[in-house]
Structure 1
Amino acid sequence: MLLVSAPITVPEGLTSRPLRREDAHAVFEVILAQESHDLDEPMIEEADIVSDWSRPGFDVAGSTVGVFDGERLVAYGEISGTGRGDAAVDPAYRGRGIGTALAHWMQDTARAMGETEIGMPNPRGSAGDRLLEALGYHVRWESWGLELPAGASVPERPLPEGYAVRAAEESEYDQVWTVQEDAFLEWSVRDRQPFEDWRAQIVNRPGFEPWNLRVVVDPDGRVVSMAWLQLTTDTSYIARLATRAEERGRGLAQALLVDAFETGRAHGATRSELSTDSRTGALGLYEKVGMAVTSTWVNRGIAL
């Protein structure tokens, strides 16, 4: 079923329309401008947008809106998943009510989709965070970016006998997806992500290589833990990390951290990063192995 993006009222002199897949680069540039202003270091990659918008279950036109000054995209909003939205405004266009208009558009669009709540993350104390707080959004959870300090390494922890860590084989991708979704759905209130959407975000992400997907397998060859490693110019970033519930407490996640960051270094990375949020309870684990918080994000939501 095709969705219809809600209307939006923009300041005089600007225009709006639903976005198209070919707008992904312009959206990347707007988010990059915002993150460059709000963070010590931007985190967005164009591949993030391209892969998200390539999901079979994502209707780009029905789930997005762009705000334009002539031909130039200066702000955008999207409903990217259950209860989740994203938006960005070029810092040069702040103070004109665009962020407020996007927030109301997001609410109207999510309500039309049958959602009961909508929200999004922002760096703590940023303009976006302050705006949502002023509009009555409540804090749903916090998240943190972490980095392994220069010269440090995650302590080695031996795997249980018969277990092995390696790159996932293509025939195991459905197991990797299952491990991730089973673990994430313990704390994330959403529907199970379809396998083809998962493939679009990970396996079909621009630049994906088979070694990006790391797994721990048990003595029977069953995937019991997974990590998805992304590599930028100089940074290895673990975007997802999950372990089967009955296998936790045995050092599998720590072994994957060691393996993933070593793999990243072998492919040219000089920095090692990941992120986590307060719903997972994993912050202490990462700090215990020597990682340090570099950024804090606040996810605020509002009932519809």
Structure 2
Amino acid sequence: MTDHPPPAPLPDPYRSRPATAADAFVVHRLVAACERERLGRIRTGLDAVAADLRRPGLNPAMDTLLVHAPSGAVAGRAWVHGGRRCRIDVHPGHRGRGLGAALLVWAEARARQVGGRRLAQTVCDGDRAAVVLLRSRGYSPFVTQWLLEITLLTEPAVPEPPEGVTVRPFRSGDERAAHQLTEDAFAEWQKRRKPYEEWARLTVERDTFAPEVSSVAFAGGHMVGAVLALDVPGADEGYIDRVAVRADHRNRGLAGLLLRETFRGFHGGGQRVCTLWTHSRTGALSLYERAGMTVRHSSTVFGKDLPQE
């Protein structure tokens, strides 16, 4: 592997440099501008951007790129993780100038540089320009993602747990059990198991993690279900980050119960909307719809096999 990342073929007069942890705030402003334009509201918190820049296995000096306009403002960014996944954002005020295509070329080159054989990224279905760009470069869709929501006008009713199961809020000491449970559940469709340190940075160590409204279920002294939630300061809605039930406790209504317990917690805290993302590989869309959630937005994950040079 070379000691230098590939060059970014940016159009003049744009310039680029790697990102650092200190850039989390300006990257978040870029992401917020993109989400506000595409989704009508900001979905990603500052803590999520900071966690991305601290991902185990991601070297910011090699795996990230910030694009600056002549004014010095951040016009775009890209990161590549493990040669498998990438994310590219271009500020709405700088689209149509070839930045997205240039960042995609850079991301593919960086992925190949570390031995990546297939690269994937997610785009909002409403971003037609990004979809056209990806298809023009040989990417194909393979997973659909949905952002679901529920309006909490009244306090949700929560059924009694199944016999032998107890439910309570998440508390200190539950972290390792929640990691084991969620990674076991996600192994059915997730190609790579996250080690605890990486998982924790993206979940329970985030500033917005909300243990008081995260619900966990136990049977026989073992965690058998969990709903992990986030509470973003200043936001008017709660967010569910992960839902998992151990395989031998499924089809007992436990996931729906835990969801409603978390809905009730958000309602008690003043939030009147709760959201979560799911995708077609989990097979969980009907579960969330039965819990009263509806689709607000959809996205698609596109992938491309990378020829080795």
Range into which the TM-score falls when normalised by the shorter chain: over 0.9
Aligned partner (choices 260, 275, 285) of residue 262 of structure 2: 260
Is residue 2:168 matched to residue 1:166?
A: yes
Is the 1:212–1:229 contact (alpha carbons within 8 Å) kept by the matching residues of 2?
yes
Aligned partner (choices 235, 239, 242) of residue 240 of structure 1: 242
Deviation per CA, 1:122-164: give whole Å up to 9, x if none. Answer: 1113132232122221001000001113536766333111212
> d(CA) in 2 for partners of 1:151 and 1:122?
31
Matches within 5 A, 1:217-236: 217-218=218-219, 220-232=220-232, 233-236=235-238
Matches within 5 A, 1:182-197: 182-189=184-191, 191-197=192-198
Deviation per CA, 1:168-224: give whole Å up to 9, x if none. Answer: 2332211100111111111122x2111011121222212334325431111x22111
Aligned to 1:205: 206
Is the 1:77–1:85 contact (alpha carbons within 8 Å) kept by the matching residues of 2?
yes
Residue 4 of structure 1: how far off its partner (Å): 4.5
Aligned to 2:20: 20
Amino acid at match of 1:261: F
The answer for unaligned runs of 5 or more in structure 2 is none
Aligned partner (choices 175, 178, 181) of residue 176 of structure 1: 178
Aligned to 1:113: 114
RMSD: 2.0
Between the two proteins, the alignment pairs up a number of residues equal to: 302
Give % identity: 32
Is the 2:18–2:65 contact (alpha carbons within 8 Å) kept by the matching residues of 1?
yes
Q: TM-score, normalised by structure 1?
A: 0.93
> d(CA) in 2 for partners of 1:158 and 1:4?
58
Matches within 5 A, 1:73-88: 73-80=74-81, 83-88=84-89
Matches within 5 A, 1:84-103: 84-103=85-104
> d(CA) in 1 for partners of 2:48 and 2:3?
22
Aligned to 1:32: 32
> d(CA) in 1 for partners of 2:305 and 2:77?
22
Deviates more, 1:251-260 or 1:38-47: 38-47
The answer for unaligned runs of 5 or more in structure 1 is none
Q: TM-score, normalised by structure 2?
A: 0.91
> d(CA) in 1 for partners of 2:154 and 2:3?
48
| CA pair 3-164 structure 1, distance change in 2 beyond 3 A | farther
Amino acid at match of 1:143: Q
Aligned partner (choices 119, 132, 135) of residue 134 of structure 2: 132
Deviation per CA, 1:18-64: give whole Å up to 9, x if none. Answer: 11111111111111111111123231211111122233433222211
